Amino acid sequence: MTLPTKQWAQVVEKKGGTPIYKEIPVPTPGPDEILVKIRYTGVCHTDLHAMKGDWPLPLKLPLVGGHEGAGTVVAKGNLVTDEEFAIGDHAGIKWLNGSCMTCEFCRQAEFPLCPNAQLSGYTVDGTFQQYAIGKAALASKIPPNVALDAVAPILCAGLTVYKGLKESGARPGQTVAIVGAGGGLGSLAQQYAKAMGIRVIAIDGGDEKKAMCEKLGSEAYVDFIKSSDVVADVKAASPEGLGAHAVILLAVAEGPFQQAVGYVRSYGTIVAIGLPAGAFLKAPVFDTVVRMVNIRGSYVGNRQDGVEAIDFFARGLIHAPFKTASLKDLPKIFELMEQGKIAGRYVLDVPQ
Ligand code: NAD
Ligand code: ZN
Ligand code: ZN
């Protein structure tokens, strides 16, 4: 197969600038890398944080964002065996593009914690382009019968919430409060929770998201815009009024990170996943101690978490709504995302 030398991409040229749709060179994979012709790519709020320069982590510039890219392997380095990836295989490029494989975290398969990790659409170019590169070791295999549009959001959103639910320690029959349930991660979190036998209280704002959450299987919806007391409403919706066994924080605002301790059940776990700019977690020491509250972070997942998250999807257990737009529409999608107007996920159709 002859590959083109040029391709279309969305390029952020300066921090805070909107992406510009332009032609750039097609990259060449290194010895341990694959080149994926992207068919669909999801838009994660992380891409918006990156563009705005929200985090204390240096960004590659100019940058091609995107880290939920699903497509076909079209080239690979000479160290990549056919068992890993053959030309024509379906593959996914995720947030974790590569890691050193030699540090203590990599040795223990905690790849996201690698201090020298490469991040797609952040420290290396990502999937808002027609051809994207990933280290074969960390790219995902996608079974041939799986739809590439619907699976794209699983590569970050699905994987992250599945891992977060596992980290929460919530058991089948217990109840989790999902904060930001109407967004991309939140919609998938409801479906993974349901598939894991965990009951859900959804927290987000507006009636479109309420209708979506009810459809996805949440037993209660607390509207943070309308509610005069979110803590009381979540507790009232929880079994015996004792609070949620776990809280999955996906919101892009600091408020809920301070509030969650108010409605988590005693001995329960708060899992912080959302990454609002400049935010802090704050909890009363007295409550945290005497109610034995566990507060922790969760960050994407390792290779096995990725395999499991895709497997749940491939077995037909995960159905989250997504809308499709074209790669060139990315700036418009970012605007809607900034305004909190997207129920579920947007997936970009990449020109072939
Ligand atoms: P999104 O914009 O699709 O969803 C965020 C949702 O939060 C929206 O529905 C919004 O209405 C809701 N929200 C805002 N304020 C709220 C409040 N006070 N109470 C309840 N809900 C509120 O974003 P997304 O793509 O789902 O990403 C969510 C966050 O997760 C982002 O900060 C993103 O960077 C982060 N993230 C973290 C990881 C990780 O590994 N930890 C991975 C992926 C994304
Ligand atoms: Zn993401
Ligand atoms: Zn490492």
Which ligand has an atom closest to residue 160 CA?
1
Q: Whose CA is nearest to atom 9 of ligand 1?
A: 183
Asked whether residue 264 falls in the same domain as residue 206, the answer is: yes
Q: Give residue-wise pLDDT tens across range 299-330.
A: 999 999 999 999 999 999 999 999 999 999 99
Asked whether residue 84 falls in the same domain as residue 64, the answer is: yes
Asked whether residue 143 falls in the same domain as residue 22, the answer is: yes
Asked whether residue 148 falls in the same domain as residue 193, the answer is: no
State the pLDDT confidence band at 118, using cuts at 50, 70 and 90.
very high
**Is pLDDT of 90 > 90?**
yes
- Residue 328 in any domain: the answer is yes
- The rounded percent of the chain whose pLDDT value lies above 70 is 100
Instruction: Quote the strand ranges of the chain, DSSP E.
Output: 6-12, 20-25, 33-42, 63-64, 69-76, 90-93, 96-98, 118-119, 131-135, 140-142, 175-179, 199-204, 220-223, 244-249, 264-272, 294-297, 322-326, 345-349
Asked whether residue 109 falls in the same domain as residue 177, the answer is: no
Work out the average pLDDT over 74-102: 98
Inter-residue contact 191 to 183 (CB < 8 Å): no
**Is pLDDT of 85 > 90?**
yes
Inter-residue contact 83 to 31 (CB < 8 Å): no
- Residue 303 in any domain: the answer is no
Distance 164 CA to ligand 3 centre (A): 21
Inter-residue contact 55 to 119 (CB < 8 Å): no
- Residue 44 in any domain: the answer is yes
Work out the average pLDDT over 132-147: 98
Asked whether residue 54 falls in the same domain as residue 121, the answer is: yes
Q: Whose CA is nearest to atom 16 of ligand 1?
A: 251
- Residue 18 in any domain: the answer is yes
**Is pLDDT of 151 > 80?**
yes
Dihedral of the alpha carbons of 89, 95, 101, 105, in degrees to the nearest 10: -140
State the pLDDT confidence band at 152, using cuts at 50, 70 and 90.
very high
- Residue 11 in any domain: the answer is yes
Asked whether residue 182 falls in the same domain as residue 196, the answer is: yes
The predicted structure's pLDDT at residue 279 = 97
**Could you report how far apart the first and last alpha carbons of the chain are, in Å?**
14
Ligand 1 atom with the smallest distance to the CA of 224 is 19
- Residue 57 in any domain: the answer is yes
Our mutation pick for probing the ligand 1 site, out of 252, 257, 336, counting the most ligand atoms within 8 A of Cβ, is: 252
Q: Whose CA is nearest to atom 12 of ligand 1?
A: 180
Provide the 8-state DSSP code for 240.
G
Cβ–ligand 1 contact at 351 (below 6 Å): no
Asked whether residue 177 falls in the same domain as residue 195, the answer is: yes
Cβ–ligand 1 contact at 190 (below 6 Å): no
Task: Report the phi/psi class of residue 173: left, alpha or beta, with left for phi > 0 and alpha for psi in -120 to 50.
Answer: left
Provide the 8-state DSSP code for 57.
S
Q: Give residue-wise pLDDT tens across range 264-295.
A: 999 999 999 999 999 999 999 999 999 999 99
Asked whether residue 16 falls in the same domain as residue 147, the answer is: yes
Amino acid at 56: P
Work out the average pLDDT over 162-189: 98
**Is pLDDT of 342 > 90?**
yes
- The rounded percent of the chain whose pLDDT value lies above 90 is 99
Asked whether residue 149 falls in the same domain as residue 25, the answer is: yes
Asked whether residue 167 falls in the same domain as residue 270, the answer is: yes
Distance 114 CA to ligand 3 centre (A): 4
Q: Residue 135 pairs with which residues in a beta bridge?
A: 33
Q: What is the CATH number of the domain that holds 80?
A: 3.90.180.10
Number of domains in the chain: 2
Work out the average pLDDT over 59-80: 98
- Residue ranges making up the domain that contains 41: 6-154+321-349
DSSP string, 6-41: EEEEEEE-STTPPPEEEEEEPP---TTEEEEEEEEE
Inter-residue contact 178 to 189 (CB < 8 Å): yes
Burial class of residue 314 (count of CB atoms within 10 Å of its CB; 0-12, 13-18, 19+): middle
Q: What is the CATH number of the domain that holds 167?
A: 3.40.50.720
Task: Quote the CA–CA distance of 183 and 209 in Å, as a whole number.
Answer: 8
Cβ–ligand 1 contact at 224 (below 6 Å): yes
**Is pLDDT of 1 > 80?**
no
Q: Whose CA is nearest to atom 27 of ligand 1?
A: 45
Q: Give residue-wise pLDDT tens across range 199-242.
A: 999 999 999 999 999 999 999 999 999 999 999 999 999 999 99
- Residue 305 in any domain: the answer is no
Asked whether residue 287 falls in the same domain as residue 226, the answer is: yes
Burial 171-198 (b: 16+ CB within 10 A, else e): eeebbbbbbbbbbbbbbbbbbbbbbbeb
Distance 250 CA to ligand 1 centre (A): 4
- Residue 338 in any domain: the answer is yes
Average model confidence (pLDDT) across the chain = 98
